[in-house]
Amino acid sequence: MLPTFIIALREGVEASLIVGIIAAFLVREGRKDALSRMWLGVGIAVGLCMAIAVFLRIADQNLPQKQQEGLETVVGLIAVAAVTYMILWMRRNARGLKRELQENASRALASGSAGALIGMAFLAVLREGFETAVFLLAVFQDTSNTTAAGAGALLGLAAAIVIGYLLYRGGVTINLSRFFRVTGFVLALVAAGLVATAIHTAHEAGWFNGLQSQALDLTWLVGPGTVRGALLTGMLGLQPQPTVGEALGWLLYAVPVCLYVAWPDSWRPWRSRRPARAMVVGGTVVVVVGLIVAGCGSSGGGSGSDSGGGSAKHVKVTLTDAGCSPAQLKLASGPTTFDVSNDGADAVTEFEVMQGSKILGEVENVAVGLHRSFSLTLQPGDYVTNCPGGKGADKGTLTVTGAAVKTTAGTQLQQAVTDYRRYLEQQTGQLVARTRSFTSHVRAGDVGQAKDLYAAARVPYERIEPVAESFGSLDPHIDARAGDVPAAKWTGFHPIEHALWVRGSASGLDAVAGKLFDDVRLLQAKVRGVKLEPSQIANGAVELLGEVSKSKITGEEERYSHIDLVDFEANVAGARAAFEAVAPIVHERNEELDEQIDKHFEAVDTALARYRRGNGFVSYTKLTSADKRKLSQAIDALAEPLSKVPAVVVG
């Protein structure tokens, strides 16, 4: 709430200041008639900014996950740039602002009509408004409590208008210089948080894969659920477990800019403005370029901490409206990275390398302007490239010559870990987004809406539950049922479930909802740093099916909402994803086992499909003994061969 209040206050004061000065000038010059046109201009500018903000927000919500993260990164970076420029400019110019404005105004008036002045007011408000909109959007993206954030913005605006009016009237004098310096310092810290977040969303969008190892554990300082933690995260963007990239970005931005803002004038060693400005601008450029280089340098072969390096060849593939370009590829065997970019093809967003009908490697969601890579070890032979949606050249050929390449078990195991890690991050991302939505409706008291969103929020958690359980107390905090923990300590999804379905009310749930959101964000942070072994991944698949046998098929998990079958499907989907990560290894070492497991996954899906209703499943209470038995036996039939996989993967 504080960041939105401060930005709205500051931008609002700036805008009110300029508008007030211009209005005073018009009155003084006897041009009161132009005042109404000026206000009209101001109103249009405000309207335009709101429209831009709404458009950006809608665009953000309608994009697929990866593009959403991309847009949020861009918005975040623009916000940082705008805020930085504004802070620096105001730092230098606060003292001379009024005089400069008046000079400009009289020049404008002298040269012609009041139109120029009106234009100035319009442009000033537009500029401030656009900065505010972008900044507010960036902060909104990152907050759990959009109501409070919105309230803060409105309060800040209201305060700004009041201050602006009082200044205009001359009833209040403010040391503008100090006002802008203090607010500038606070905003610099907030902007540093935005830099860190932008680096994070850039990673989610797949643009930035470097420096992903965990730098610090700040949970002692920014512990979720504490007031201090909420303040520090909300205001300064400090994450509980920032990565190296995020921590560096935060520091490299915050230190120089805060120093610049806070530096007392009397200490300034230089007189002229240019070196200072050049220094800051140059420093920022160096920082940004450095980060990009560091990030992109390790994104070639996969995510930073897991990539095995190696001398992979890079091949550039462009997606065009026709399809894949080049359509005919001739390559030598060996490790190869395909760098796929989209050159303006709206209908073509995928690139696949296939052998017969089997897809050996692919990238998806390569929208216009984006690029993604994937790696394969190419063996000699003839393959087909496929860019679905292309007109004319959607299928091409890939001829690989040379000697056969021995793939080491090591690369396969690494690939398994990489693949499953990507899945984990995808799921935790979904979990955070859906829990944010769910808990905000809970806090707003929307029982009906909250109930509708409950199942969707449960799904990503149930898909990765064993991983959550490996982090100690996180699982009980998020998923404990009544009686598992003392009543006073019961938090997470299920006390909310109880309130919504049994009490029919969301009152008194504020703290629990807030803690749940903090806990899933902590889970997301922990997942980023987790160490994974292939046998662990395989074990996780077996454990997920154990979950089904223990609590989903018995109806023990969702005691009030009875959506156990939704959780059931999620557990199975999670098990399948874990198995798919190690399946190439299993396939190579025991093809029959791989096929057997695939067959039984299909059988479970078929058995479960009978109970679908709408977008979900029938209530658990509708299942007969015979229904439960069939499902239970299908799970047993799948889990038995699956239990053999860990030994196969390691042995």
Partner 1 sequence: MSGITRRRLLGTAAGATAAGAFGAGYLAGGAGDDGSGRAASASVPFHGEHQAGIATAAQDRLVFAAFDVTAGSAGELRELLREWTGAAARMTAGKVAGPDNDSQLAPPDDTGEAVGLAPSRLTVTFGFGPSLFDRFGLGGKRPAALHPLPRLPGDELDPDRSGGDLCVQACADDPQVAFHAVRNLARLGRGSVVMRWCQLGFGRTSTTSRSQATPRNLMGFKDGTNNIRAEDTELMDEHVWVGASDSPGWMRGGTYLVARRIRMLIEVWDRASLRDQEETMGRKKISGAPLGGSAEFDPIKLSALPVDSHVRLANPATNGGERILRRGYSFTDGMDPDLGQLDAGLFFICFQRDPHKQFVPIQRRLGSNDKLNEYIKHVGSALFAVPPGVRPGGFVGEGLFA
Binding site for partner 1 (CB under 8 A): 535, 596, 600, 633, 636-638, 640-641, 643-644, 646-647, 650-651
Q: How far is the CB of 553 from partner 1 (least distance, A)?
A: 14
Per-residue CA distances from 108 to 22, 38, 103, 119, 564 (Å): 11, 14, 9, 10, 71
Q: Which is nearer to partner 1, 28 or 599 (CB)?
A: 599
Residue placing its CB nearer to partner 1 in the complex, 346 or 636: 636
In the complex, the smallest distance separating the C-beta of residue 589 from partner 1, rounded to whole angstroms, is 13
Task: Report in angstroms how near the CB of residue 538 gets to partner 1 at its nearest.
Answer: 9
Q: Which of 420/490 has CB closer to partner 1? A: 420
Determine the Cα–Cα distance for residues 95 and 98; give it in Å rounded to an integer: 8
Query: What H or E segment, with its residue span, contains residue 529?
Result: helix 510-529
Closest CB to partner 1 among residues 94, 607: 607
| C-alpha atoms less than 13 angstroms from C-alpha of 165 in its C-beta half-sphere | 6
Task: With residue 419 as reference, give the H or E element that holds it.
Answer: helix 409-443
Residue number with CB closer to partner 1 (289 or 647): 647
Can you give the length of the chain in residues?
Answer: 651
CA 192 to chain centre: 17
**Nearest to partner 1 of 390, 646 (CB atom):** 646
End-to-end CA distance of the chain: 54
Minimal distance, residue 597 CB to partner 1, in Å: 10
Distance in angstroms (rounded) separating the CA atoms of residues 253 and 463 = 37
Tally Cβ neighbours within 10 Å of residue 288: 17
Give exposure, 507-537, as e/b (b: 16+ Cβ within 10 Å). eebeebbbbbbbbbbbbbbbbbeeebebbbb
State the minimum distance, in angstroms, from the CB of residue 640 to partner 1. 4
Residue keyed to tokens 């989907």? 573
Q: Do the bridges between strand 328-332 and strand 395-401 make them parallel or antiparallel, or are there none, so unpaired?
A: parallel
Shortest CB 644 distance to partner 1, Å: 6
**Cβ neighbour number for residue 334 with a 10 Å cutoff:** 18
Quick one: 339 or 605, whose CB is closer to partner 1?
Answer: 605
In angstroms, give the least distance from the CB of 357 to partner 1.
Answer: 23
Closest distance of CB 634 from partner 1, Å: 9
At residue 352, what are phi and psi to the nearest 5 degrees?
Answer: -130, 145
By beta-carbon proximity to partner 1, the closer residue of 36 and 554 is 554
